Amino acid sequence: MAETKPPPKREEKAPSKEYYKKVGKESREALIRAVPNMALGIIAAILLWLLGRLIFIPISQGIEWYEYPLPKILNFIILIAMAAFVLRILVDARRAVDALAGLAACEIGGPYDVTPAEIGHYKTALRGILYVVMVSLAFLLFSDYLTLIHPGLSGVVLIAIVVWAIFQIWRAVKAVSEEIRRYSTEWTEKALK
């Protein structure tokens, strides 16, 4: 039988109140910078999708460029542009998630002496879940264009996203489960004393 080792006990001490104030201030500033950039990127990606899907692709039907269908060329160009917007959104989303995790740790965890390692676990969990949601939404933007390039391309990308999403969810659950194990072990030890 395999031995299960107990979860690690909290070894580091909680930071001082000044640390929480500093993290809270930095988190607010990062959030103020990230949210407008994300909003602009989302608007640009949606406008590009709408213009491409409703105007450029229908206009180009039946036109060939050097014996290659123009809709496929335009699809590829629009995909590259949307990928650039989405990557920029993901960078800003990472900053926003880190800021939200920092604010949550300071506001909620501050009175309970949350350590920087715990903040890291919460950031990992929040980041993983948000990335799965955002990449799934981004796939909805890309799926029609991928299908127009090649019908199987959309399926291959979806399979890759599902495998990646399973890994991200596993990481999020693992990060939070370490904290749950540690807290439940500490609570059980206190209850049994």
**Cα pseudo-dihedral 64, 68, 70, 72, rounded to 10:** 160
d(CA 90, CA 134): 8
56 exposed, middle or buried (CB, 10 Å; 0-12, 13-18, 19+)?
middle
User: To 10 degrees, what angle do helices 17-51 and 70-104 make?
Assistant: 160
The pTM (predicted TM-score) of the whole model is 0.69
Per-residue model confidence as pLDDT tens digits over 114-158: 677 777 777 788 888 888 888 898 888 888 888 888 888 889 999
